[in-house]
A and B are shown apart, each in its own frame.
Chain A
Amino acid sequence: MDITKNNRIGLAITEIIMLLVAILFLIPFYFLFVNSVKSFGDLLTNAASLPKSIEWGNYARAFEITNFPTAFLNSFVITVVSNVLLVLISAMAAYRMVRQNTAFNRILFVIFVAAMVVPFQSIMIPLVKVTSTVGLMNSIPGLIVCYLGFGIPMSVFLLHGFVKSIPLEIEEAATVDGTNAYGVFFRIVLPLMKPMLVTVFILNALWIWNDYLLPSLILQSPELRTIPIATFAFFGQYTKQWDLALPALVMGVLPIIVFFLMMQKYIIEGITQGAVKG
């Protein structure tokens, strides 16, 4: 009796402390949102207070200067197309590498795993040379090809582990029924891989959506800018103009926060899955 009561008080105290920590975590968002609708003068005199008047005009101007719809669309297309192709190509490779355990496929798998340790920055300089030689520079399809290359090792690795857990009997039954190898993969195996495909998709989507360095090296034209690049270019021009910069930042973070709040369950599961397999 006494113990449970103590426990309950302990829990209540823990809860209060954790809520305070949560407020601490949220303070940056408070500053960001509240100040994004202040006039420049209001913002300079007191950044902590609520706005004296709400200036939506800040957003209208930032929206225009960053050319937000274009940047959003570029980010969206790059993230979705890279991911769909990445998931498909990796699933096919992982499936074949598990089911045909040849020496070649075993060595290839070891190389993929080893490549996961290679930092992007350690190959970015010659990468620029390679991409310009084969004509992938300054184009969105070119950038997508780069994402396919960089995404494949981890995607194949995660899917490889998953294919191993799929029982062979189902495929054998289908083969006996006269389905060929491609039919077996696309109609039977691929649907079974769905949980891990979602995990891979989400982990890669967060990475590609937020990536700055690779697109900054590949894309030069202003009309090809993604959200991080457009934000960076904007800051170069409007340093310290916080009444424009903050609304631009809010627009930059909003899509991914909305995505997170909607897909939270899958994102958390995806990270757990990715970590367990990694």
Chain B
Amino acid sequence: MPVDAKFWFDWIEASIRLATPLVLVAMGGVFAERSGVFNIGMEGMMLTGAFVAVTGSYYTDNVLLAAVTAMLAGGVLSLVHAYVTITRRANQIISGAAINLFALGLTNFLYRALLGSAGRKRVEGFPQWKIPVLGDIPVVGPLLFDQSVIAYVAYVAPLVFAWVLFRTTWGLNVRAVGEYPLAADTAGVSVPRVRYLSVFLSGMMAGLGGAALALGAVRYFTPGMTAGRGFIVLGAIIFGKWNPVPVALACLFFGAADAFQLRAQTFGFEIPHQFLLMLPYLLTIAAMVGFIGRTRQPESLGIPYDGQGSSA
């Protein structure tokens, strides 16, 4: 494959496509972590979202309905995480790990039960839509504005999430609860309420991210198809310092890495393809190693709130 204009074009186009699910998941993750709750269960919620979206699309042929159902499925799972970690104050990592196991088992089981006979039949996916005017700009138009509709959601989401986080009362509450829950509590903000909603949001966005993954390009479900993307998002959140827009750019970076490894495999490099497959994961570690020291995470992240401020 020659490195020409078409190569760059295809690569950037694929980067956007592959980053879309990551961006959506990451936006919810930022809110959960900003409120003080790790959600490593986003991997499982994303997988569940992917499965529900494909199943929904398979049975109804209605992509919007499928996406909404996927969000709800992710949301329901996140409520389990919220209950276990906020109400019961159990460890957040353990709860997330258990939810991931549950989601993997459940989607495997239901996949065979519900879609088994359908095999890998392609379902209705998110339609591609060329934005009028913008789509006609040379080069940039076809690259950025002739994408799947879900990609546009991923363009807008970081701006919306950043605005909510930094410019609204609700966003202030989320940040306050994550930094110093006792102070927020004293000021009359319900710590559990804010955390529940933030975690629920992360579950819904993870479900939507799963839908974006499954209905974006491949349009079918395979067991375990998220393959750690929900975990890569955790790295992107750190990389982007818990700020929606930089986090989205970090996701784009990981999407580009993913797109590169797919391309490089057909490229005839001397590197064995397994090493290329490792690339996104290694880059996540490298990004964390390279940028730590300049990041500061929400102060109460990972610590359950017991109403006495004795957690720190």
A and B held together in a complex: no
Which A residues contact B (CB, under 8 angstroms)?
A: none
